[in-house]
């Protein structure tokens, strides 16, 4: 239909995403690069190079690409349930994500991420993991998408840096946001934010008290120190029978968003933590970008400086 607006699914990192159909009837999603997007072409080519080498049930599948004249497009499998944020942050849709579904989504995201980091032929750092980049199939199984910023690491490479920090503020680790350093552990930080958003049903950018100085990580940390970690859970889906599982997820989320990258677990360890209540978890240290809570529960903020960041 010549990219009719009625077929528009959303806005990607470098252009619009449309629903389409192949001649044999298969539904597809088409990412179309904006004609005036110089940055987008680089990201599109990077996405083709990265994702064409990958195949996993928790990664969105690339079916093809088109680079002809001024047209640049990527063709993906169509995900009928859209992206995770569509359900997670919409009051009308949130109840469709009961706790069992949310826990399954958390595990699926982790499986996809450990494949990128350790189990594929390449070592890949995603660099833009967030709930809007998690797509859902007809059974609400998650698939990681949008590999425009992904970087391939060599076997002996553990960390890299860039002077061009691009990503989504709120999901970026402190070492990436401030110094351009990225690694598996910077993806783990993003995973921790996603995990806490899934548990709470709230955006990291949401405010959690009247004077607007407490975001999601602050609030999760405060509840943890007050011994009330399960109070973070979305009240619309809270189930007492899953109390220990919910508390464990909050615990793991806080371990993932610790300030120092070396303190964060790798994703394979996160999967083990999620899968067994018999594994003793270390106490989390204070998350990055959060306030210190004294005995009287009054906040005094860490000294933090944030560099200019390009949004997506």
Summarize pLDDT for 255-306 with one digit per residue, the tens: 999 999 999 999 999 999 999 888 899 999 999 988 654 433 434 344 443 4
- Contact 203/197 with Cβ under 8 angstroms? yes
- Which of 211, 128, 179, 209 has the alpha carbon at shortest distance from 288? 179
Kindly state the tokens that stand for 207. 């405010």
pLDDT-wise least confident of 59-63, 144-148, 180-184, 291-295: 291-295
Q: Is residue 12 over pLDDT 90?
A: no
* CATH superfamily of the 84-301 domain: Transferase(Phosphotransferase) domain 1 (1.10.510.10)
pLDDT-wise least confident of 171-175, 282-286, 307-311: 307-311
Q: Which of 98, 119, 128, 210 is catalytic?
A: 128
pLDDT of 294 reads: 41
In the predicted model, what is the mean pLDDT of the chain? Answer: 86
- Contact 59/51 with Cβ under 8 angstroms? yes
Reported confidence tier of residue 310, pLDDT bands at 50, 70, 90: very low
For residues 7 and 18, give the distance between their C-alpha atoms in angstroms, rounded to a whole number. Answer: 5
Kindly state the tokens that stand for 205. 């950018």
Name the class of domain 5-77: alpha beta
pLDDT-wise least confident of 180-194, 200-214, 255-269: 200-214
Classify 69 in phi/psi space as left (phi over 0), alpha (psi -120 to 50) or beta: left
What are the extents of the domains in the chain? 5-77, 84-301
Which DSSP state fits 54? Answer: -
pLDDT of 39 reads: 57
- Contact 178/307 with Cβ under 8 angstroms? yes
119 catalytically annotated: no
pLDDT of 300 reads: 39
pLDDT of 292 reads: 55
Q: Is residue 155 over pLDDT 80?
A: no
Q: Is residue 34 over pLDDT 90?
A: no
Quickly count: other Cβ atoms within 10 Å of residue 24's Cβ: 5
Q: State the average pLDDT over residues 13-29.
A: 85
Which DSSP state fits 95? Answer: G
Question: pLDDT tens digits, residue range 54-102?
Answer: 899 999 999 998 888 778 888 999 999 999 999 999 988 988 999 999 9
- Contact 96/180 with Cβ under 8 angstroms? no
pLDDT of 56 reads: 95
pLDDT of 211 reads: 53
For residues 141 and 119, give the distance between their C-alpha atoms in angstroms, rounded to a whole number. Answer: 20
Question: pLDDT tens digits, residue range 233-260?
Answer: 999 889 899 999 999 999 999 999 999 9
Which DSSP state fits 6? Answer: G
Is 31 annotated in some ligand binding site? yes
């Amino acid at each position: 239909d010549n990219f009719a607006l009625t077929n528009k699914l959303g806005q990607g990192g470098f252009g619009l995403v449309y629903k389409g159909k192949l001649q044999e009837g298969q539904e597809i999603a088409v990412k179309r690069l904006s004609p005036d997007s110089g940055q987008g072409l680089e990201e599109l080519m990077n996405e083709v190079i990265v994702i064409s080498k990958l195949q996993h049930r928790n990664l969105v599948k690339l079916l093809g690409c088109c680079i002809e004249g001024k047209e640049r497009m990527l063709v993906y499998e169509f995900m009928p349930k859209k992206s995770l944020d569509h359900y997670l942050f919409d009051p009308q849709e949130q109840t469709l994500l009961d706790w069992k579904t949310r826990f399954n989504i958390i595990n699926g995201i982790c499986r996809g991420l450990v494949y990128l980091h350790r189990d594929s032929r390449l070592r890949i750092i995603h660099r833009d993991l967030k709930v809007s980049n998690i797509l859902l199939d007809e059974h609400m199984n998650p698939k990681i998408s949008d590999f425009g910023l992904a970087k391939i690491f060599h076997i002996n490479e553990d960390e890299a840096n860039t002077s061009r920090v691009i990503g989504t503020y709120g999901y970026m680790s402190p070492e990436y946001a401030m110094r351009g350093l990225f690694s598996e552990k910077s993806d783990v930080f993003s995973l921790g934010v996603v995990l806490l958003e899934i548990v709470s049903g709230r955006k990291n950018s949401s405010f959690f008290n009247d004077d607007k100085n407490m975001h999601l990580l602050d609030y999760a940390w405060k509840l943890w120190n007050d011994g009330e970690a399960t109070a973070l859970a979305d009240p619309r889906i809270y189930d007492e029978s899953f109390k220990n599982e919910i508390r464990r997820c909050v615990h793991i989320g806080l371990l993932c968003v610790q300030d120092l990258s070396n303190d964060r677990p790798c994703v394979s360890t996160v999967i083990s933590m999620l899968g067994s209540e018999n594994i003793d978890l270390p106490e989390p240290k204070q998350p990055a970008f959060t306030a210190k809570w004294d005995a009287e529960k009054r906040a005094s903020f860490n000294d933090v400086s944030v560099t200019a960041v390009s949004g997506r």
